[in-house]
Structure 1
């Protein structure tokens, strides 16, 4: 009965959230455009799927992802696990002893980003628009590496208690500098990649991980230190995607030079030069 009550309560709340969106869309369609909705039956069925899917997703967050993230953070930061081999627990937090936390943060950041539906959609569209010049898997892996590094660094910030604004300021300074040297084609996509990573799969686990860390690491505030990981997950993919494009451009340039050098040294080109000299 409790499960059914939660299902109907979440479904009702989701209907309230989706209703304004439906009102705007249908209002513009009938009052501004003054045209009937094409395939109205399919659209209504799609809205029903959206409501049911969002309701189940929200229930999954509350019952699985949030508790799982907090549980992992709590287990990885227990003093008896972190300070194995210490006869006496130290008076202050030793950030280097939390290496399992950083490794877990990197792994969870990479895996959740690879599975992020919004990133998959953007990567497919980018590959289609660029005619295959931008690889779908290459973009997804570049973004996932950026998110993984960002979340691991964000966990280091929570463990050490350093101010978040120092990291963000330095990060965006590097992004601005990198923007000048990155291929122009990739810059807008890189900036968008930072936003699409913070979506349905990544945000719940990362938020739960940050809150769990702040709750269990001694001397940390949940409100001050527990949040901020999403900012790292949005910032570092920008750098990783532009870096991926720069490396791809350098590799292509090196390949072209090598091909030109080989063509100059080929027997056919040598014979042509000899005939021209004669």
Structure 2
């Protein structure tokens, strides 16, 4: 744990976004002084909060998840492991702030949707697929065949579900992987695979979990009476996406997110883990750091970033609708830039990249992973903004994209396939779902309407599947060439 290093790294990730938005806000797309000041102060809070949160994850949440996975596996009681996994997945997902926000957004467009049942359906989907993911690890089933079969079933069901729910279902897969869910799920998978001493199975649990809510929402759409979308988000609803909650609201969201996991930790401590007093105290301190960091992070993101993103998107969207041409190109280029930079500030992305470097013994560099992830997310945001302007069907991008991802499973190493599908979940975190989503919502509201605002998270979750698997193929080829050269030199 190195607080100064984390502070430096997070600053380098967030400051470029702040510089670009501030430059645009005082030149090409003038923003109100109040919005710019809130944005700058929000950026500082975001950097500080992310640093403290990551420190807390290192201290408490990640070690707890790994210990739980390892101890449950050592019990050699599969039913106990799967029951505990389902309860963990359901409780943590139902408490995830991103899910509450997402359910509100869906209800605004589709009033016939019941928020509570919708939330529980998503939580059940995550719980069931955590158990499925752990069964795969325990039975040593192929990650490639597991993903291929599950996505084949998913797309077959999607053809029978209402078209209006297609984007919402795929968005739900990304919305479930929030700042508290991801660290624990990834650590749980690492803990189980560490007992089995199987490096290739260390990753992929988050990727499998992301399929669960998509399937669950598709089934939900088949069972309810569907109606037409509301058409266009009301101005108040759009503004609410970029509203500025007080620090107490952010604290409440962070508390709702962390308390269920902390309660599970207490239960596991006395029934399973039995940590020493020092280990217990260290974990509790980690949870406290995570709570403080997440509160500061959410305050910064919601208070400054989302409002600036919404206003920037609306202003550029009006310019596109009035003039088209060059402004359409400008807004797409901005989306590419924001996508490339902002994913590096996502809390879960940092955790995943550090775990990948650790598990691989440093052979897979964190910087290389972040570069490929940035490129994939950049393309996803660019396509989202192109769709918000042109208004074409999401299936035209999503189905070919997943077909490519499935084909790449044939050539990509199993470890990289697991990392790729995990990356799809972690890329769509709170920063993406606030600043980027608000930016796209603003552009869509002035062009194609709210129906095309859904699908942003789905595209952000899809592109890393392609990017990271391509990285794995390149990595394998370079390793083969290097080994050949070393053998030739030895001869």
Q: Tell me how far 1:29 sits from its aligned partner.
A: 2.1
**1:238 is aligned to 2:455:** no
The answer (yes or no) to whether the contact 1:65–1:204 under 8 Å persists in 2 is yes
Question: Which residue of the partner structure matches residue 55 of structure 1?
Answer: 295
The answer (yes or no) to whether the contact 1:207–1:227 under 8 Å persists in 2 is no
* The 10-residue stretch of structure 1 (18-27 or 103-112) with the greater mean CA deviation from structure 2: 18-27
**1:155 is aligned to 2:394:** no
Question: What secondary structure does 2:415 align onto?
Answer: coil
Q: Tell me how far 1:36 sits from its aligned partner.
A: 6.3
Question: What secondary structure does 2:404 align onto?
Answer: helix
Deviations 1:61-120 (A, max 9, x none): 3211111111221232233xx48xxxxx67xxx577511111111111110122333222
**Aligned-residue CA RMSD (Å):** 2.9
* The 10-residue stretch of structure 1 (187-196 or 19-28) with the greater mean CA deviation from structure 2: 19-28
Larger Rg: 1
Question: Which residue of the partner structure matches residue 336 of structure 2?
Answer: 106
> What is the alpha-carbon distance in structure 2 between the residues aligned to residue 174 and residue 200 of structure 1?
27
Match of 2:418 among 184, 188, 191: 188
Q: Number of residue pairs matched?
A: 246
Match of 1:229 among 456, 459, 474: 456
The answer (yes or no) to whether the contact 1:206–1:230 under 8 Å persists in 2 is no
Pick closer, same or farther for the CA change 1:127–1:53 going to 2, 3 Å.
closer
Q: Tell me how far 1:229 sits from its aligned partner.
A: 1.0
**1:168 is aligned to 2:398:** yes
> What is the alpha-carbon distance in structure 2 between the residues aligned to residue 64 and residue 8 of structure 1?
15
Pick closer, same or farther for the CA change 1:181–1:43 going to 2, 3 Å.
closer
> What is the alpha-carbon distance in structure 2 between the residues aligned to residue 9 and residue 121 of structure 1?
25
Q: Tell me how far 1:193 sits from its aligned partner.
A: 1.3
Deviations 1:186-205 (A, max 9, x none): 11111111111112333322
What stretches of structure 2 of length at least 5 have no aligned partner? 1-244
Pick closer, same or farther for the CA change 1:134–1:225 going to 2, 3 Å.
same
Pick closer, same or farther for the CA change 1:41–1:246 going to 2, 3 Å.
closer
Deviations 1:4-34 (A, max 9, x none): x93334434543443322222212322x238
The answer (yes or no) to whether the contact 2:317–2:442 under 8 Å persists in 1 is no
**1:117 is aligned to 2:357:** no
Given the two structures, how large is their TM-score scaled by the length of structure 2? 0.45
What stretches of structure 1 of length at least 5 have no aligned partner? 84-88, 264-268, 270-278
Given the two structures, how large is their TM-score scaled by the length of structure 1? 0.77
The answer (yes or no) to whether the contact 2:316–2:327 under 8 Å persists in 1 is no
